Structure 1
Amino acid sequence: MHTAHRENVTATLIVAAPAARVFAVLADPTTHSAIDGTGWVQDAADRAPLTEVGQVFRMDMDHPRQVNGYYKVANQVHVLDPPRAIGWRTGEEKDDGHLEFGGWSWSYELVPLGPSETEVTLVYDWSAVPQHIRDHVGFPPFGPDHLTNSLQHLAELVAVASSDSTNK
């Protein structure tokens, strides 16, 4: 299920895993390319787990509208409430190391439905994007199924993580 509003789009899926396990997968930047529903996220340049608000993690990206396709983004964690919520805003790192954010963010809200199920809501919000960026980039910059695809990928990763931990 997904809903679209003027400045955000959301999708919700029930995942067959405890919230802590879902959160652990989301807090691991190395899983983000497998979760991504667009194929734009390639690899985690920063591989440390997300553990605090303000933490920055960079991702290698590939998008046909970029020069040569490849670019990096710098994400900054702005929500971290294990195992209930995690989110980051996306931007870029300038040559001088300064971070500049475009005004959009990703967040996941996790609601335990019992010991082995979690309702996960993914929110892509662009309400803080300045008009000059909106004029250049259409929002959202992906189709309506992107968030649903991402949540399905997350559910598959969590299932693999669950079976790996029970097989050890």
Structure 2
Amino acid sequence: MTAQHPSDVDLFAPPRRSGPRPTTTGREIPHDQLDQFSPPRIRAALIGHATALPGVFTGPSQVSEPASLALRLHDPRGRWEAFLYPSPDEFGHIHRTGFMHLTVPRPIIAPLIEAGWIEPHPITLRPQWPDTIVMLYAPRDEDELALATAIMDASWQQATES
């Protein structure tokens, strides 16, 4: 895969993520990625992309560890499944090691799982949580950053649509 612009990435037919899937806790709390972290410059670029999205503001997460950086909207318009329950405006957060929890549109969940980019959050097995919450594995290089930001854009789009 060569570095692409996020808008050029086909999330319905994404490229395979290279290597084995990262090790995760597989638990509801904490649902953490345990290896294959983002280098600091890649995490910084992920945050830069997030903060450049219209209407997004950041701060401590309302639903995760305080060290994770919440992606929140000044004007959330998406449906319930576009947000990290119980927050009414947080559509994702970036953890210190670069992995994210965010909501993604249902049609792209299966292709992204199959290609090795995400896993469902175990909390989605509970009926009171939306089934759209996933862990997006930490991007390790520029190519993976392009795919991660495309997924982030899809999450943002879902959260801003009426």
Whether TM-score is above 0.5 comes out as no
| Structure holding more strand per residue | 1
Larger Rg: 1
* Range class of TM-score, shorter chain: 0.3 to 0.5
**TM-score using structure 2 length:** 0.33
Name the structure with the higher helix share: 2
